[in-house]
Structures are given as C-alpha cells and as structure tokens.
C-alpha cells in the first residue's frame, strides 16, 4: 500500500468511526400505539377510561383501531360504535386494513370534543435539533355524508408544525403519507402533541389518522464519539507528519 493510499484509509476510518457511533436515539415510547389497556378497538383517554394507550394521554374524541377493524367491527366509544367509510362499510375508497407501520393506529375527530394526543418527552438537550416522523391519512366516519378535510398540527414544547388539512371527498380516504418535521428543544422535558384539524363542523365527521410516531436526534456525536473522532484525526495527522519527514 502506498503512503497516499494509507493516508486515505486512515481518513476513511476516522469518518466511519464517527458515523457508526453517532446513531440517533429514539425519544418516543409506544409510537406505534401497540400497547393498550385492552386489546380492542375503542375510544381512549380521559373521557373513556376503560381504554388507554400506554404513554399517551388525551381528553378528546379519539380512537385507537386495531388493523382491519376501522371499517368492519369498528370501535366502541362514549356515543356507541364508530366505524370509518371503507371496503368493509361498502365503499371501495382505498382504505387499507392497516397503516404502513402495521398494527394499531389512531383516528381523531377534529370537530367533536377536540383535544390533543400528548406524550411527555424527557432527556432532550436544550438547543439541539430533533427529527419527528409519522404516518398520517384522512378518512370519514361511516354513516355520514359530505366532503371533508383533515390533518394534524404537531407541537413539541412551544414549536408547532402542520401537515395542513387535505381535502377528502364524500365517503373517501386520503392515503397514508410520511411526514417529517424538525424541532429545536427549548427544555430538557417537553410535551409532544398531535391535534387533529379539519372540517367542516356539523354532520360530516372527518377523521385524521396517525401511526408510526418517531422522534430522534439528528445524529450529533456524543462526547465519547468526539473522543474517537479526535483519535482518528490524530492518526491522520501523524501520518501526514511522517510523510513530510520521509520526504525531507
């Protein structure tokens, strides 16, 4: 191996060390909504204490659905059974049995007993950036008619982003899509909130769907990683000095 090739190899090793050790950490617990008090589709939260979703709180008219049940058996709630328009309720609108994440997902009404779905996030670094991703879609409650809109406002502490409210035709379904937002922490502990938005108000209940919530750091090296990086670049520097000595 030539001196130049060896120098390049050492440089590559230094960067590879940083990349391998600066992996992103996950800050959301139960981001797929798989852990629930009862293994059934149902309204959950403070207004329906019979069902809870682990690590998430709400006082709104929000449901957790198991895969394949939103347009078939539906979910029990404070005002009876609730279903969404889909193949199981007689409309081939493309509503799949599950989200891209699979398993359970959330359905939230943005016009009736509205309240955010929250989780307290700990261990944040003030001033650091975090990447939030989640899957979302739009649907309509079975048994009602009319065009609707639905989407999400998402907050971490005092910073808010929005998916916007997408238009959904009568009895329709807007396919699942992946959202990606960046947040900057202003405290070590902040609340992550999802608030369903949309309309119209009245008798065309829209529903915003949610699954696969993930909040990670942006891969900034931790202190131990910086030490490895310094060692790596030190090795590169030593090789450069040796090369110059031999050439003199």
Range 184-190 average pLDDT = 98
Q: What confidence score (pLDDT) does residue 134 get?
A: 98
Is the pLDDT reported for residue 246 higher than 60? no
Range 136-161 average pLDDT = 98
CATH number for the segment(s) 25-219: 2.60.120.260
Q: At 26, is the pLDDT very low, low, confident or very high (cuts 50, 70, 90)?
A: very high
Per residue in 193-228, is it b (16+ CB within 10 Å) or e — as a string?
A: bbbbbbeeeeebbbbbbbbbbbbebebebeeebeeb
Which range is least confidently modeled, 3-7, 33-37, 189-193? Answer: 3-7
What pTM was computed for the model?
A: 0.82
């Amino acid at each position: 191996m030539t001196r130049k090739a060896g120098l390049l190899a050492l440089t590559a090793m230094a960067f590879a060390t940083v990349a391998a050790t600066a992996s992103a950490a996950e800050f959301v617990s139960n981001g797929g909504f798989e852990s629930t008090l009862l293994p059934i589709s149902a309204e959950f939260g403070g207004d329906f204490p019979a069902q809870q979703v682990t690590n998430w709180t709400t006082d709104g008219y929000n449901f957790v659905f198991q895969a394949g049940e939103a347009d078939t058996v539906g979910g029990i709630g404070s005002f009876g059974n609730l279903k969404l328009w889909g193949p199981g309720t007689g409309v081939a609108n493309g509503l799949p049995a599950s989200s891209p994440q699979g398993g359970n997902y959330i359905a939230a009404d943005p016009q009736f007993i509205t309240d955010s779905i929250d989780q307290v996030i700990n261990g944040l670094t003030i001033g650091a950036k975090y990447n939030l991703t989640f899957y979302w879609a739009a649907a309509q409650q079975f048994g009602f008619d009319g065009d609707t809109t639905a989407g999400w406002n998402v907050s971490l502490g005092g910073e808010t982003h929005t998916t916007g409210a997408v238009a959904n035709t009568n009895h329709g379904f807007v396919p699942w899509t992946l959202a990606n937002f960046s947040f900057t922490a202003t405290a070590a502990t902040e609340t992550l909130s999802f608030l369903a938005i949309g309309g119209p108000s009245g008798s065309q209940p829209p529903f915003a769907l949610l699954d696969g919530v993930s909040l990670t750091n942006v891969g900034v090296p931790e202190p131990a990683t910086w030490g490895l990086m310094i060692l790596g670049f030190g090795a590169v520097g030593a090789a450069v000095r040796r090369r110059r000595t031999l050439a003199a």
